[in-house]
Copies of this chain bind each other. A is one copy, B any other.
Amino acid sequence: MAIRIFVTGGTFDKEYNELNGALYFQDTHLPEMLDLGRSKLNVDIRMLMMVDSVVMTDEDRQIILTNCENTPEERIVITHGTDTMVETASILGAASIGKTIVLTGAMIPYKFGSSDGLFNLGSALAFAQSLPPGVYIAMNGKAFPWDNVRKNRETGRFEVLDKEAAAEPAP
């Protein structure tokens, strides 16, 4: 099963510049993370952009959408800043592409040691392989459908909009 990974930046790939103390983007750590996870998946990584998601533009989101439409793979993972991940997901979701698309990110840069990135990447790749076509956000161990999720800015966690719909029916 071939999986396409689109890299767009976000906290995932931020690094610390030791000369000026600022955070910046250099290159993606996705290949290194897949090696660390001993992944043997058939993945193809393409970097579409390398931006903080708060500065992501409508044009950027069109680039992401177009790439999702045009890539031959039916399974796609997108690494993305968490601040506007929901916004990008809703544009992809509204386009009804008919592929399984999973957005994921991190609260702490991968290079900072205590990152959630590796956990999130593992779950995003698993959801991309196992969920039916649709657009999802994989964060906090869960997969949220694109039209029922928000980032709670006070806790930094993702949660469903509609708590009732999310209530679990008895199995």
Contacts and interface: CB of A to CB of B under 8 A. Distances in A.
B125 A123 contact: yes
A71 to B, nearest CB: 12
A120 interface: yes
A126 B138 contact: yes
A153 interface: yes
Interface of A: 1-2, 11, 14, 16, 18-19, 21, 23, 33-34, 36-41, 52, 74, 107-109, 111-116, 118-127, 129-131, 138-143, 153-154, 156-159, 168, 171
Contacts of A109: 16
Nearest to A104: B122
Contacts of A116: 36-38
Contacts of A143: 126, 129-130
